[in-house]
Amino acid sequence: MSKIITFANRKGGSGKTTIVVNLAASLASLNKKVLVVDLDPQCHASYISGVNTYERKMGMGAVLKKQCTISEIICKTEVKNFDIAPLYQKEFGSSISFNIESHKTILDQLKSEYDYILIDTPPSIEEIHKFAMAISTDVMIPMLMHFLAMEGMAQLTRFIFEITKQHNPDLKLSAIIPISYNRQTNHEQMILKEIERVFGTEILKNKIRSDIKVAEASWNKQPLIVYNPKAPAIKDFTLLAKDIIANK
């Protein structure tokens, strides 16, 4: 059975998509079969995984409208073992509704095929977060080390708690991942201490350093491991992948 991990943070630009794509590539390079599911109407995960999101094709929008099954829309990426269920531009019209109960089984046919299914979510659409968390085993929160990001965290954890009560009692908040972490600043240290005080130390095992090669790789529509396997942040994505495998 797959581990299904939703990456969520309502703050825009907190590193969700970057983690999803690079973690997928790192897990795949460790011989795990990985599927990324793009549920963000911005289509960034599809775009940086090499999908032409401007093509008029059926993607996750069509799956949610029940026009096809998820198996029919899955594409391979240039990384072996890393597939994507893409989303194409304009697929998410206002007509898409997230009836959680009727859509809850969309991943069922894939659970024996993939070791990990990673779901990318948009910054703001609550219905999408609800749905993604209802079908996941885990939630991970990438977070910039800034006090305003800490503000949003309390709201998000309350939201996760509500999902566990209403839709998915097995859902687990398994990691908060500091992004672009720079251990030298006092401000970042203070925020880390506050997270540890509220959530305990276990939740903060992995951090992703700031590395301009990460942004360059996305610009080039490639995971970092393909674009520059010697880039410093590769170590962080690999450690995160190994940690997730060890905790399966």
Ligand X SMILES: Nc1ncnc2c1ncn2[C@@H]1O[C@H](COP(=O)(O)OP(=O)(O)OP(=O)(O)O)[C@@H](O)[C@H]1O
Q: List residues near ligand X by CB under 6 A.
A: 12-18, 40, 42, 44, 122-123, 179-180, 208, 210-212, 214-215, 218, 233
Hey, which residues between 26 and 85 contact Mg ion (CB under 5 A)?
44
2 binds, among ligand X, Mg ion, none (CB under 5 to 8 A by kind): none
By CB under 5 A, tell whether 221 contacts Mg ion. no
- Spatial separation of the C-alpha atoms in residues 108 and 49, rounded to whole Å: 23
Cβ closest to ligand X, residue 171 vs residue 208: 208
Q: Residue 71 burial (CB < 10 Å; 0-12/13-18/19+)?
A: exposed
- Spatial separation of the C-alpha atoms in residues 116 and 233, rounded to whole Å: 21
Least distance in Å: CB of 122 to ligand X? 6
Least distance in Å: CB of 113 to ligand X? 26
Least distance in Å: CB of 18 to Mg ion? 8
- Spatial separation of the C-alpha atoms in residues 215 and 247, rounded to whole Å: 28
The SS3 call for residue 137 is: coil
Cβ closest to ligand X, residue 29 vs residue 206: 206
Return the bridge partners of 5, or none.
Answer: 118, 138
233 binds, among ligand X, Mg ion, none (CB under 5 to 8 A by kind): ligand X
How many Cβ atoms sit within 10 Å of the Cβ of residue 8? 25
Residues 6 or more apart in contact with residue 34 via CB below 8 angstroms? 24, 27, 28, 81, 82, 83, 114, 115, 116, 117, 118
Least distance in Å: CB of 243 to ligand X? 17
Cβ closest to ligand X, residue 33 vs residue 239: 239
- Spatial separation of the C-alpha atoms in residues 2 and 108, rounded to whole Å: 10
| Token duo for residue 232 | 């410093």
Select from 10, 11, 16, 32 the one that contacts Mg ion (CB under 5 A): 16
By CB under 5 A, tell whether 10 contacts Mg ion. no
User: Considering only 12-20, 87-95, 149-157, 187-195, which stretch makes contact with Mg ion by CB under 5 A?
Assistant: 12-20
Binding site for Mg ion (CB under 5 A): 16-17, 44
